[in-house]
Structure 1
């Protein structure tokens, strides 16, 4: 919950999706589940990618058990998980029933992006497997037919890939932070209406806001941003980032203004997503401590 200057918790008013401008928000915890190893798991689950389908179902990829799973509003598993041949890293919903999953890190190293379809009855089917030239980790939508993915072991920290498997680079990439990251050192998201590529630099404790049209870049640092992990687009074209070593979520504008910080009751949050209508937020944590998955209601904070 967001606290006001007197320390009192604010109450929800209306969904943030109704606002076109980024403003502070309130997070109300709806569901929290632990993620222990179950009978059909080889290891304790590690959810490294999350996204919502337009109908509100939550999709998660379990890196350790090589699975894609569908969850309902109570965070209960629906249908039968899809089993990968490799360790999946991230997932993005590209249409009402289509998913794109990056993978290849782990015991089986391969450069691959998978397109999956999800039925209304929660059946997950592989529709296409794309071999890529770059190693991709996080992935997000740029347009209906194009995605942006962060890379590792590549001098281009983020690249574009189409649903047809065509890879390309940003025109102004020379103005961005051109570091070569290792796996788990950087993630990306893309604010479509602002043409802004967001890149996190975990060990530099920095979030980069890159204008892909103007070719400019802004480095955002703050004491609340410590080992930033996954990022996603929030209501009003804002950005939400997991601040792993602060056990919190940081809310900021693409101009770098900190709108708020939100502690989460889990150690080392690393994966995050917001529903298509801007009213729900899901977050999961890393491999250390008790693994959890939280679902929050997003509302506007009272000024």
Structure 2
């Protein structure tokens, strides 16, 4: 604020101030808030309706594609997917240990990349670079303009990780499994693992694929889903505050990503829907998708496209939706 005041006094026409924080969080406030959708029914009706109407979005499916088998023995399972900066997609075929590049019509481009271990999730962190989790190993990949996937490097970690999302320009938020110490950690490019210092995580038993996380960088909100308890936890990494979100529409929450207008999207497997909540824990809406078990979820960088992958007993599909505001 002091810098801003000083700069304004200089009568500059255009001013840009960028602050990059790499420290973990020192100050802690004890705050554990239980949030239910009924908590918002007592707000001023007109104000609440106006607030919601600006945030509601609609889904329109543009494309759907069956994932072709790259192995004669196993049906593909897309366990992670994300957008590259140019609009192409990178997807993890967990069953066949492949990484695929997909075009705008969800067609496979180039030759799939094969892992020696079982890949789990993927996160794009640069224009054409992505990180892939595989238990206690992280793979860093690059994708060129011909959709050729190359291995940059592979690092090992002491813990096992499934879900991965960006924390900042040099670190990632990773969900652990079968780890009693912490459900989420920050991991960097070298495999160095750091715990969140001032967050008291609830004691929850996390098995493989039971919890997924995402992070709002500019607000410092870490979101963690928990499949078995039908709960979503939201942690303020700046203050240590915790919000627990429960709602009858939240059934078996799983894959999660940041949504449009500072909201969070996550899949609900038991009712084949995608739930959308604010960073304060308010349930805004649920979006119905195909009657499939959702296995991956991501949103484009311009927040106009949503991709959901789902599996049935005989096939795996990837569905591309257009996100549009409705008033």
C-alpha change, 1:55 and 1:22, in structure 2 (3 Å) is: farther
Aligned partner of 1:69 in structure 2 is: 100
Q: 1:188 aligns with which of 207, 213, 227?
A: 213
- Distance in 2 separating the partners of 1:203 and 1:95: 33
Pair 1:242-2:273 in alignment: no
Q: 2:69 aligns with which of 9, 22, 37?
A: 37
- Distance in 1 separating the partners of 2:241 and 2:108: 43
Secondary structure class of the residue paired with 1:194 = coil
Pair 1:168-2:194 in alignment: yes
Where structure 2 has 5 or more consecutive residues not aligned to the other structure, the ranges are: 1-52
CA contact (8 A) 1:207 1:228 kept: yes
Q: Kindly provide the CA deviation profile for residues 56-80 of structure 1, in whole angstroms up to 9, marking residues without a partner as x.
A: 1011000000000000110000000
CA contact (8 A) 2:76 2:315 kept: no
C-alpha change, 1:288 and 1:196, in structure 2 (3 Å) is: farther
TM-score using structure 2 length: 0.81
C-alpha change, 1:22 and 1:87, in structure 2 (3 Å) is: farther
CA contact (8 A) 2:160 2:176 kept: yes
Aligned partner of 2:247 in structure 1 is: 222
Secondary structure class of the residue paired with 2:261 = helix
Aligned partner of 2:8 in structure 1 is: none
Pair 1:277-2:266 in alignment: no
Q: 1:289 Cα shift?
A: 5.7
Q: Larger C-alpha radius of gyration, 1 or 2?
A: 2
Q: 1:85 aligns with which of 107, 112, 116?
A: 116
Secondary structure class of the residue paired with 1:245 = helix
- Distance in 1 separating the partners of 2:140 and 2:153: 5
- Distance in 2 separating the partners of 1:266 and 1:281: 17
Aligned partner of 1:18 in structure 2 is: none
TM-score using structure 1 length: 0.87
- Distance in 2 separating the partners of 1:194 and 1:242: 22
Aligned partner of 2:40 in structure 1 is: none
CA RMSD in angstroms comes to 1.5
Aligned partner of 1:103 in structure 2 is: 134
C-alpha change, 1:287 and 1:126, in structure 2 (3 Å) is: farther
Q: Kindly provide the CA deviation profile for residues 107-153 of structure 1, in whole angstroms up to 9, marking residues without a partner as x.
A: xxxx1011011111111011111100010000000111010000001
Aligned partner of 2:49 in structure 1 is: none
Secondary structure class of the residue paired with 1:239 = strand
- Distance in 1 separating the partners of 2:124 and 2:112: 16
Q: 1:179 aligns with which of 204, 207, 211?
A: 204
Aligned partner of 1:27 in structure 2 is: 59
Q: Kindly provide the CA deviation profile for residues 284-303 of structure 1, in whole angstroms up to 9, marking residues without a partner as x.
A: 1246464221000111112x
